[in-house]
C-alpha cells in the first residue's frame, strides 16, 4: 500500500506532467514563431554568402561576424575597422539614448500632471495619451514629416514669427530621426510613469515641505526613488524599439541618416549579404538583451530596497 506521502508525491508529479502537457501547444508556438527564426538567423550568420543572396549551406564562414565591425581591403585583403557600420551602430545607440532622455523629460511632467488630476478625469487624460496608438506607425511618421519639412508647420510658424528668414533644414538629419522617435514613443514613457506616480503617497511630499525641503530635494530624494520602477520600465520600452527603428529613419532620414534596422534591411535586400545581415540582427538582439539585463538588475535592486 502507498503511504500518504507517496500518494501526495504521485499526485504532485501527475499535476506537473499535466501542466507540461497543457503548456506544450503554447511552447511549440513560441518555439516555431520566435525561437525558430532566431535560430535560423544564427545559423545563417555562420555560412558563406551566396552570389545572388541566400547562403551557401554547408560552407562554414565567420566572414559575416567579422564584417560587422571590420572590412577587408580590396587590394591586400587586410582587415580594417568598418567605419560605416560602426558609425551606424553608434548613431543608433546615440539616438536611442537621446530619445529615451527626451521622452523622459517630456513624459515625466505629463505623467505627474495626469496623476495629480481628480480621479474622475484621469481616465480622460490617459485616453488622450493612448490615441496615437490607434494610428499606424507609418501614418504618424508622415504626420511628423509634415511638421518639420522645409514648407511644414514648424518652419512656417518660425518664419511668421520672424525668428528665421529661411526654412531650417531638419528633414534627412539626425534631428529629424530624434524628433520622430520622440513623438512616436512618448506614450510608452508616459504610461509606466503614470502607473508609478498614481501609487505615490503624496503625504510624503507634504511632510517633506513641512521639513523645509526645496522642490528639487523633494523631486530628487522622494519622488524619483519611489517612481523608479516606472522610470526604468518606460526607459526600456522606449530604448528597445528606438534601437531597432526602421520606418522612422527611412521616412525622416531619407537614407542619409541610416540606423541599425535600415542597415540590416539593406543587407537582406540590395546588399545581398545574408550572413552579414543575420550577424547584425543577432548583434541588435544582443544589445537589446543587454538593456533588458540592466533593467532586471535595477528592478531587483529596487525590489530589495523596498523589501
3-class secondary structure per residue, 3-15: CHHHHHHHHHHHH
Whole-number Å distance between alpha carbons of 248 and 178: 9
pLDDT at position 305 over 60: no
b/e 67-98 (16+ beta carbons within 10 angstroms → b): bbeebeeeeeeeeeebeebeebbebbbebbeb
Mean of the pLDDT values across residues 42-50? 90
Grid cell listed for 70: 571590420
Confidence band of 91 (pLDDT split at 50, 70, 90): very high
Per-residue model confidence (pLDDT) at position 88: 92
| Helix 83-115 / helix 174-198 crossing angle, nearest 10 deg | 40
Q: Distances in Å between the alpha carbon of 24 and those of 16, 21, 30, 45, 257?
A: 12, 5, 10, 29, 44
What SS3 state is found at 94? helix
Cell 515625466 belongs to 108
Give the other-Cβ count within 10 Å of 49's Cβ.
Answer: 24
Residues 171 and 149: beta-carbon distance below 8 Å: yes
Report which of 256, 259, 243 is spatially closest to residue 292, judged by C-alpha positions. Answer: 243
pLDDT at position 10 over 90: no
How high is the mean pLDDT of the chain? 87
Whole-number Å distance between alpha carbons of 87 and 258: 9
| DSSP-derived secondary structure letter, 47 | E
Report the chain's C-alpha Rg in angstroms: 25
Mean of the pLDDT values across residues 14-35? 85
pLDDT at position 255 over 80: no
Question: pLDDT tens-digit profile of 52-64?
Answer: 878 888 888 898 8
Report which of 119, 102, 79, 107 is spatially closest to residue 194, judged by C-alpha positions. Answer: 107
Cell 499526485 belongs to 11
Residues 231 and 196: beta-carbon distance below 8 Å: yes
Confidence band of 72 (pLDDT split at 50, 70, 90): confident
Give the other-Cβ count within 10 Å of 135's Cβ.
Answer: 10
Per-residue model confidence (pLDDT) at position 306: 52
The DSSP bridge pattern shows strands 70-72 and 47-49 to be: unpaired
Mean of the pLDDT values across residues 142-153? 91
pLDDT at position 307 over 50: no
Residues 274 and 267: beta-carbon distance below 8 Å: yes
Mean of the pLDDT values across residues 104-108? 95
Question: pLDDT tens-digit profile of 161-172?
Answer: 998 888 999 999
Higher pLDDT, 140 or 5: 140
Question: pLDDT tens-digit profile of 182-217?
Answer: 999 999 999 999 999 998 888 888 898 888 888 888
Per-residue model confidence (pLDDT) at position 253: 87
pLDDT at position 304 over 60: no
> What pTM value is reported for the model?
0.84
Phi, psi of 113 (to 5 degrees): -60, -45
Amino acid at each position: 500500500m502507498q503511504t500518504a506521502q507517496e500518494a501526495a508525491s504521485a499526485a504532485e508529479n501527475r499535476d506537473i506532467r499535466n501542466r507540461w502537457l497543457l503548456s506544450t501547444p503554447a511552447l511549440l508556438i513560441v518555439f516555431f514563431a520566435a525561437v525558430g527564426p532566431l535560430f535560423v538567423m544564427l545559423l545563417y550568420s555562420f555560412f558563406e554568402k551566396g552570389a545572388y543572396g541566400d547562403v551557401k549551406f554547408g560552407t562554414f564562414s565567420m566572414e559575416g561576424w567579422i564584417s560587422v565591425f571590420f572590412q577587408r581591403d580590396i587590394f591586400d585583403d587586410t582587415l580594417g575597422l568598418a567605419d560605416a557600420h560602426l558609425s551606424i551602430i553608434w548613431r543608433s545607440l546615440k539616438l536611442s539614448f537621446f530619445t529615451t532622455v527626451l521622452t523622459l523629460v517630456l513624459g515625466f511632467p505629463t505623467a505627474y500632471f495626469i496623476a495629480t488630476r481628480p480621479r474622475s478625469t484621469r481616465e480622460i487624460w490617459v485616453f488622450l495619451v493612448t490615441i496615437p496608438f490607434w494610428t499606424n506607425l507609418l501614418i504618424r511618421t508622415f504626420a511628423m514629416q509634415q511638421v518639420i519639412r522645409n514648407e511644414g508647420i514648424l518652419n512656417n510658424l518660425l518664419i511668421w514669427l520672424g525668428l528665421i528668414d529661411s526654412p531650417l533644414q531638419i528633414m534627412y538629419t539626425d534631428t529629424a530621426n530624434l524628433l520622430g522617435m520622440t513623438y512616436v514613443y512618448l506614450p510608452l514613457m508616459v504610461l509606466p510613469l503614470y502607473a508609478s506616480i498614481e501609487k505615490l503617497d503624496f503625504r510624503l511630499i507634504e511632510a517633506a515641505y513641512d521639513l523645509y525641503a526645496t522642490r528639487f530635494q523633494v523631486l530628487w530624494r522622494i519622488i524619483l526613488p519611489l517612481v523608479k520602477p516606472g522610470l526604468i520600465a518606460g526607459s526600456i520600452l522606449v530604448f528597445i524599439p528606438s534601437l531597432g527603428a526602421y520606418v522612422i529613419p527611412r521616412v525622416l532620414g531619407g537614407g542619409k541618416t541610416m540606423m541599425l534596422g535600415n542597415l540590416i534591411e539593406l543587407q537582406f535586400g540590395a546588399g545581398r549579404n545574408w550572413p552579414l545581415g543575420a550577424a547584425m540582427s543577432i548583434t541588435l538582439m544582443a544589445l537589446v538583451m543587454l538593456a533588458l539585463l540592466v533593467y532586471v538588475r535595477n528592478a531587483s535592486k529596487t525590489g530589495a530596497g523596498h523589501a
